[in-house]
């Protein structure tokens, strides 16, 4: 009488090989292609906006005219969801202050007014543009206007904070 393992083992090997071949053929379609980005958050970045110190397309501010400067740091590691992102998380500035965002992270970030990328008012008050590590963006608090203003990172929309101008 033949032992069942003698026949079953080669059959399992053949079925495993067929399954592997079909799986490989099916999932190679999921390999990303260079130049194709399928993400609702992706926006093309121009070389000029990536290299500007005051990157948001807003007018350049003469920082020497301000004695009151409120600095908001984009913290290192903030691109990891759930990590602290902006410091201070909720900033307050007087209307005569200069508000400056500085990117301390290795990853590209923004500080864009609005509550999310789908907000119709997104970027209308201020937008830092894409900031690389060490880059900063400054805007006069008077240009933002009094009140509480939400902002977020366009690259990482879960990074959100607010600034209150008094």
Give 23-66 pLDDT, tens digit per residue: 887 776 667 777 777 777 776 665 444 444 444 445 567 888 88
Mean pLDDT lowest for which of 18-22, 41-45, 81-85?
41-45
The strand pair at 90-93 and 160-165 is best described as: parallel
Q: Are 137 and 54 in contact (CB under 8 A)?
A: yes
Helix (H, G, I), strand (E, B) or coil at 29: helix
Residue 137 vs residues 32, 101, 118: alpha-carbon distances, Å: 33, 5, 23
pLDDT at 44: 67
C-alpha–C-alpha distance, residues 98 and 61, integer Å: 9
Give pLDDT tens digits for 118-163: 888 888 999 999 999 999 999 999 999 999 999 999 999 999 999 9
Question: What is the DSSP pairing of strand 69-74 with strand 86-87?
Answer: antiparallel
Q: What is 60-165's CATH topology?
A: Immunoglobulin-like (2.60.40)
Place of tokens 């400056």: 100
In angstroms, the Cα distances linking 17 to 13, 14, 75, 104 are: 6, 5, 48, 49
Beta bridge partner(s), residue 127: 112
Band (pLDDT 50/70/90 cuts) for residue 18 is very high
Buried b (16+ CB within 10 A) or exposed e, 140-151: bbeebeeeebbb
């Amino acid at each position: 009488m033949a032992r069942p393992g003698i026949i079953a083992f080669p059959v399992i090997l053949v079925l495993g090989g067929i399954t592997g071949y079909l799986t490989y053929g099916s999932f190679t379609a999921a390999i990303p292609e260079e130049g194709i980005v399928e993400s609702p958050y992706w926006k093309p970045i121009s070389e000029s906006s990536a290299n500007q110190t005051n990157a948001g397309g807003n007018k350049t501010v003469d920082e020497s005219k301000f004695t009151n400067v409120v600095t908001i740091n984009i913290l290192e590691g903030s691109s990891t969801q759930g990590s602290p992102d902006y410091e201070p998380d909720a900033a307050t500035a007087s209307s005569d202050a200069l508000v400056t965002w500085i990117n301390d992270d290795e990853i590209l970030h923004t500080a864009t007014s609005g509550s999310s990328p789908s907000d119709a008012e997104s970027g209308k008050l201020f937008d830092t543009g894409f900031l690389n590590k060490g880059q900063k963006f400054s805007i006069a608090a008077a240009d933002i206007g009094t009140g509480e203003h939400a902002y977020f990172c366009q690259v990482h929309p879960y990074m959100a904070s607010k600034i209150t101008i008094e």
